[in-house]
Amino acid sequence: MTDKSSQSLFEEALRYIPGGVNSPVRAFKAVQSDPVFIARAAGSRIYDVEGREYIDYVCSWGPMILGHRHSEVTAAVQEAAEKGTSYGAPTALEVEMAKLIVDAFPSVELVRMVSSGTEAAMSAIRLARGYTGREKIIKFEGCYHGHADSLLVKAGSGVATLGIPGSPGIPHQLAALTITVPYNDTDTFIKAIDMHGPDLACVIIEPVAGNMGVILPRHGFLETIRDITRRYGILLIFDEVITGFRLTYGGFQNLVGINPDLTCLGKIIGGGLPVGAFGGKGEIMEKLAPSGPVYQAGTLSGNPMAMAAGITTLNILRRNEGNYDILNTKTSLLCNELQKLFDHTQIPVCINRTGSMFTVFFSGHEVYDFAGAAKSDTELYARYFRNMLANGVSLAPSQFEASFLSLAHTDEDIEKTLDACARSLKTL
Ligand code: KE4
């Protein structure tokens, strides 16, 4: 373990890494803090380089559903490493992972492994464009599908109009092919279809949004999207990078009985190692090289260590169907008790939860789209985050992220979290 502090490590990191981090949200800018450098983790806890212990609700942004350093996952990775770390050739592990995914997702007949959620979404969109011969896509405001150019696009001037770059470096011509629609806004979605339907290759959506904070689809929203896209020959892509194996042993699609044409996965299926996947109908997936003309590739796709970690994680989730009830019950208890604490202090919050993912929005209104999420008091969230961190609880360092429970979170963890919250609210 390093003998350096988070502060000294951050100062050094800034000399070699843009912003001192390898992914922006870790810089804690949204909560006006300097980042905490983590030395190790086990179960529901993470430990910073100065030895401080935190109850962890980030869970590496979703993958650690079993908790950190699960003994069987660690052993599987060690065993895989003993055989070498990468071959650049097919392995039995990739077949086993593919079979697990196909067996868990009725909508998935073939699946391709990649190394990140960004790759999964980027590749799924290229496949949709190649399969349909069309170029435009629809995404939803506040949904995040990784940082591929076509997806870092924000709504144009009017609603459902052609997109504009959401970041420097994205060609306007490309951004213009992405139409952004408000989440849960069926009328505007239909308007966008009326305007662009014959030119649309796909619609991509987080069936439960996690990247503007947790936002659930309103009744009929997803069903309408599925019905209309089917009628227009537009591929429907469910981005289940977060929700895949988070809410049930499969996807949110299993719970709502909707079959998208393509599904993106990541996070949990890698057990904490770099992973992504996209899969769907065989006739679509067969268009991918080498069976078809749509090119997609990856040096470390299906990496044996990532497969070993992911397969072990999925097998543990699968062998006890009660796991999801445990996760849901614990998260429901936590959120209900958090609500009571906030109600007691008259601080208006909207707590959105499904399964073991949740967000405390510092807003007095129901939050059902990005505009609503954006009305949250992010300053207050930042103060809450800092107080909770000081009280030994690690939450998502942004109002617009999801927090997660793992199977390692105990009733004692929940109690300690509620105590930390009560103390944190006193000095908010
Ligand atoms: P990655 O490329 O970060 O593996 O996955 C991109 C991605 C795709 N789809 C969804 C629904 C996602 O949530 C993500 C990534 N999630 C963020 C957190 N909300 C990753 C954390 C980060 O960017 O550091």
User: Is the per-residue pLDDT at 357 higher than 60?
Assistant: yes
The CATH code of the domain that includes 30 is 3.90.1150.10
Assign 1 a pLDDT band (cuts: 50, 70, 90).
very low
Q: What is the mean pLDDT of the chain?
A: 96
Percent of the chain at pLDDT above 70? 99
267 is catalytic: yes
DSSP letter at 235? Answer: E
Q: How far is the CA of 271 from the centre of ligand 1 (A)?
A: 15
Residue 362 and residue 312 in one domain? no
- Across 196-202, average pLDDT: 97
User: Is the per-residue pLDDT at 274 higher than 60?
Assistant: yes
Residue 391 and residue 281 in one domain? no
Residue 29 and residue 159 in one domain? no
Residue 280 domain-assigned (yes or no): yes
Least confidently predicted of 12-16, 104-108, 290-294, 344-348: 344-348
Residue 416 and residue 330 in one domain? yes
Which residues in 162-193 are b (16+ Cβ under 10 Å) and which e?
bbbbbeeebeeebbbbbbbbbbbbbebbbebb
Residue 39 and residue 139 in one domain? no
Residue 14 and residue 93 in one domain? no
Domain boundary (319, 336, 355) is at 319
Q: What's the predicted TM-score (pTM) here?
A: 0.98
How much is the pLDDT for 172?
94
Q: How far apart are CA 403 and CA 396, in angstroms?
A: 6
Residue 236 domain-assigned (yes or no): yes
How much is the pLDDT for 154?
87
Residue 1 domain-assigned (yes or no): no
Residue 342 domain-assigned (yes or no): yes
User: Is the per-residue pLDDT at 279 higher than 90?
Assistant: yes
Residue 275's domain spans which residues? Answer: 71-319
Domain boundary (302, 319, 336) is at 319
Residue 208 and residue 234 in one domain? yes
Among 144, 324, 381, 384, the one annotated catalytic? 144
Residue 80 and residue 180 in one domain? yes
Which of 364, 366, 338 is closest to 424 using CA atoms?
Answer: 338
Q: How far apart are CA 328 and CA 374, in angstroms?
A: 27
Q: How far apart are CA 74 and CA 77, in angstroms?
A: 5
pLDDT digits (tens, 9 = 90+) for 297-344: 999 999 999 999 999 999 999 999 799 999 999 999 999 999 999 999
How much is the pLDDT for 2?
57
Which of 210, 215, 217, 205 is closest to 246 using CA atoms?
Answer: 210
- Across 231-250, average pLDDT: 98
Residue 76 domain-assigned (yes or no): yes
Q: How far is the CA of 404 from the centre of ligand 1 (A)?
A: 14
* 45, 53 Cβ separation under 8 angstroms: yes
Q: How far is the CA of 376 from the centre of ligand 1 (A)?
A: 22
Q: Residues lining ligand 1, CB < 6 A?
A: 23, 25, 61, 116-118, 121, 144-146, 206, 210-211, 239, 241-242, 266, 276, 401
pLDDT digits (tens, 9 = 90+) for 75-104: 999 999 999 999 999 999 999 999 999 999
- Across 387-411, average pLDDT: 97
The CATH code of the domain that includes 162 is 3.40.640.10
Domain boundary (275, 291, 319) is at 319
Residue 226 and residue 295 in one domain? yes
Among 136, 139, 267, 330, the one annotated catalytic? 267
Least confidently predicted of 3-7, 74-78, 211-215: 3-7
How much is the pLDDT for 164?
84
Percent of the chain at pLDDT above 90? 96
Q: Which two tokens stand for residue 29?
A: 């800018």
Q: Which residue bears the tokens 């929940």? A: 414
Q: Are strands 350-354 and 262-266 parallel, antiparallel or unpaired?
A: unpaired
Residue 90 and residue 197 in one domain? yes
Q: How far is the CA of 311 from the centre of ligand 1 (A)?
A: 20
Three-state DSSP class for residue 386: helix
Residue 93 domain-assigned (yes or no): yes
- Across 166-175, average pLDDT: 94
Q: Which is the closest atom of ligand 1 to the Cα of 267?
A: 4
* Total count of domains within the chain: 2
How much is the pLDDT for 70?
98
The dihedrals phi and psi of 404, each to the nearest 5 degrees, come to -135, 150
Residue 291 and residue 416 in one domain? no
* 153, 163 Cβ separation under 8 angstroms: yes
**Mutational pocket test of ligand 1: of 206, 241, 263, 359, the residue with most ligand atoms within 8 Å of the beta carbon:** 241
How much is the pLDDT for 371?
96
239 is catalytic: yes
Least confidently predicted of 10-19, 160-169, 261-270, 409-418: 160-169
Sequence-ordered list of residues with C-beta below 8 angstroms from that of 100, at least 6 positions apart, any chain? 311, 314, 315, 318
User: Is the per-residue pLDDT at 283 higher than 50?
Assistant: yes
Residue 25 and residue 102 in one domain? no
DSSP 278-331: EEE-HHHHTTBTTTSSB----TTTT-HHHHHHHHHHHHHHHH-THHHHHHHHHH
136 is catalytic: no
